[in-house]
Amino acid sequence: MRKLSLAVAAVAAIGVLATSALAADMQKVRIGTEGAYPPFNYIDSDGKLVGFDIDIAKALCVAAKFDCEFVVQDWDGIIPGLIAKKYDAIIASMSITEERKEKVDFTGKYYSTPAKFVGAKSMKVDIPEGTDAGNKALAGKAIGVQRATIHENFLRDNFPDADIKVYATQDEANLDLANGRLDLVMADSMALKEGLLNTEDGKDFEFKGPDYNEPKWHGLGAGIAIRKGEDALRESLDKAIATIRADGTYQKINDKYFDFDVYGK
């Protein structure tokens, strides 16, 4: 019996050595994500981090041969956390914008969808195309938006006459919409569809108004943010995005979550 357990221990030790030797060869990359932005990244009922971003991140890590680890960080501290080296890359549906590019570098986009408003089906509101007319139509309306997002900037710059309320997470904004404290929320159309409209709480709500996709605010799609000057990491990630686009991994993940091409044009 004693011999057997010794043998087991020896095998286990070899196993540990083998895996650690393997891991030592791979670059360790910590990935910061938010975990509150379904269906892109969120914590499921088992407490596990799941979603489109997470699956993409895992696929990229396989393609780039990185040993990856996820770090969950609240959205408004997610760029400061990257700069403070709490993690090495942000894969959290972060839109590539000029303002953010002053602080961090981005890979190319890994998806791109328009922003939209959501409001109650019972509420009659006509939001015309174009932001000037839209601003007039929405004067005084309470609009919820997540803090520190491109959508907050877009609203503040283009809908200054609306009553803009900022929330720490999109979930909280959606909750206040359902509670009737807000007339509208604005976010990425996919996030609103999956996180609100397709859920039980979202059955009385619908998209309102046009699609918004202004490069100045909405950027060039969602990319991976890394610290400035870390070009080797950026190039590896860009190459990994191209790899999973080419080998069908991206398509498989795309189809798991969406019934259309989320990569955009």
Partner 1 sequence: MDFQIIVDSFPKLLEGMALTIEITGLALIMGFALAVPLALLRLSPNPLVWPPVYAFVLFFRGTPLLVQIFLVYYGAGQFRPLLQEYGLWAYFREAYFCAVLTLTLNTAAYTTEIFRGAIQAVPHGEVEAARACGMSGWLLNRRIVLPKALRLALPAYSNEVVFLFQSTSLVSIITLMDLTGVARVIVARSFDVYEIYITAGLMYLAVTYGILGIFRQVEFRLSGHTRERPDGDATADPLKPFG
Point out which residues bind partner 1 (CB under 8 A): 76, 79-80, 99-100, 102-103, 144, 147-148, 152-153, 165-168, 172, 175-176, 178-181
Cβ(211)–Cβ(112) under 8 Å? no
User: Which phi-psi region, left, alpha or beta, contains residue 216 (left: φ > 0; alpha: ψ -120 to 50)?
Assistant: alpha
Tell me how far, at minimum, the Cβ of 181 lies from partner 1, in Å.
6
Nearer to partner 1, 140 or 248 (CB): 140
Tell me how far, at minimum, the Cβ of 231 lies from partner 1, in Å.
21
Nearer to partner 1, 176 or 230 (CB): 176
180 backbone dihedrals φ, ψ, rounded to 5°: 85, 10
Cβ(94)–Cβ(36) under 8 Å? no
Nearer to partner 1, 121 or 181 (CB): 181
Nearer to partner 1, 59 or 225 (CB): 225
Nearer to partner 1, 98 or 247 (CB): 98
Question: Residue 238 corresponds to which tokens in the numbers above?
Answer: 């860009």
Tell me how far, at minimum, the Cβ of 154 lies from partner 1, in Å.
12
Burial letters for 52-68: b for 16+ Cβ neighbours within 10 Å, e otherwise? bbbbbbbbbbebbebeb
Nearer to partner 1, 67 or 163 (CB): 163
Cβ(127)–Cβ(212) under 8 Å? no
Contacts of 250 (CB under 8 A, 6+ apart): 56, 59, 244, 263
Tell me how far, at minimum, the Cβ of 147 lies from partner 1, in Å.
6
Q: Which H or E run includes 211?
A: strand 205-212
Question: Residue 98 corresponds to which tokens in the numbers above?
Answer: 């000029």
Q: How many residues does this entry show for the chain?
A: 265
Contacts of 68 (CB under 8 A, 6+ apart): 28, 29, 30, 31, 57, 58, 61
Tell me how far, at minimum, the Cβ of 199 lies from partner 1, in Å.
16
Nearer to partner 1, 152 or 194 (CB): 152
Tell me how far, at minimum, the Cβ of 108 lies from partner 1, in Å.
22
Tell me how far, at minimum, the Cβ of 104 lies from partner 1, in Å.
9
